[in-house]
Amino acid sequence: MLFTKMHGLGNNYILFDLLDNPVNVLQEQDYPELSRKISDINFGIGSDGIILICSSEQADFKMRIFNEDGSEAKNCGNGLRCVAKFLYDHQYAQATHFTIETLGGVVNVEVEVNNNQTVEYVTVDMGEPKLLKGMIPMKGDPFSAAINETYTFGEEAYNLSCISMGNPHAIMFVDNVHEIPLEEIGPTIEYSKLFPERVNLSIVHVKNRKELDYRVWERGSGITMACGTGSCASVVAATLNDLLDKNQPILVHLPGGDLTIRWDEFGHVWMRGKASYVCHGELDNVFNLNNNNQKLGGMM
């Protein structure tokens, strides 16, 4: 199997091109296990999951993403930027505007090309945020929103604003994102019965009305360097809490770098940022499940 490893601000994925490489096509049930094995830093390559680049009947292209634990994600902003760059740089996409189907819906992307005719920046129309509890989903009145509501997990109470950007996010506003024990509260909230499909947890500090500091616990992957959909959801949540102004570009500082997010006057959320290649390679002995000491593959 041929792969490309890419990252969007340190949120890294192993991409498999199913458009032009039939060797990468497996049985449907094999992809979750493939993601678990490849994501393992000790016996695999090490990543936050895998992405399949496929043909689509609804859009120009299709992206499927499997988390580190093998669960399939509905959307991923950093993954979308990686896929958009891959598609244009490898000449699948002939125009700088095209569409990508995700499990969470079809999104529009625009790439900005440098002097080498490769993609420098990617802007993604992430669509409209879903605010109702029934659409996130979370327990409670399905026709009400969860903006700055107090919830108790164990013995601790937290104020959360919950939003879906194609996948569910709970946002917590704090004074310092580095003082929050994300590795402790992240899994507690992710697996809470409040969220029937689990949830991503974003920890956010509003520095001013144009900047956010951000950390994230992603469902299925744990602490990661960046989360595009979470950054979008955080800007929406901060705006609804009157901490930011709508239709203004907001600079979001993530551990892996910066994104620019704008919630426009028509209700759509736009994300602009970079994506980068790490390496290309080939896997062998992918499904040797009985020998964990067998390397998954070599990088070329």
Q: 162, 227, 232, 279: which is the annotated catalytic residue? A: 227
Q: Is 279 a catalytic residue?
A: no
Exposure class string for 62-99: b at 16+ Cβ within 10 A, else e: bbbbbbbebbebbbbbbbbbbbbbbbbbeebbeeeebb
Per-residue DSSP letter, 28: T
Q: Is 76 a catalytic residue?
A: yes
Which alpha helices (DSSP H) does 11-153 contain, by range?
Answer: 30-39, 77-89
Please give the sequence-ordered ranges of beta strands (E in DSSP) within the chain, or none if there are none. 2-8, 11-17, 49-54, 61-67, 72-73, 97-102, 105-113, 119-125, 146-153, 156-164, 168-173, 200-208, 211-218, 222-224, 250-254, 257-263, 269-273, 276-283, 297-299
> How far, in Å, CA of 265 to CA of 77, rounded?
21
Q: Does residue 49 contact residue 13 with C-beta atoms inside 8 Å?
A: yes
Considering only CA atoms, which of 129, 99, 95, 128 is closest in space to residue 112? 95
Residue 269 bridge partners (DSSP): 263
Q: 76, 82, 162, 232: which is the annotated catalytic residue? A: 76
- Length of the chain in terms of residues written: 300
Q: Could you give the residue numbers annotated as active site?
A: 76, 227
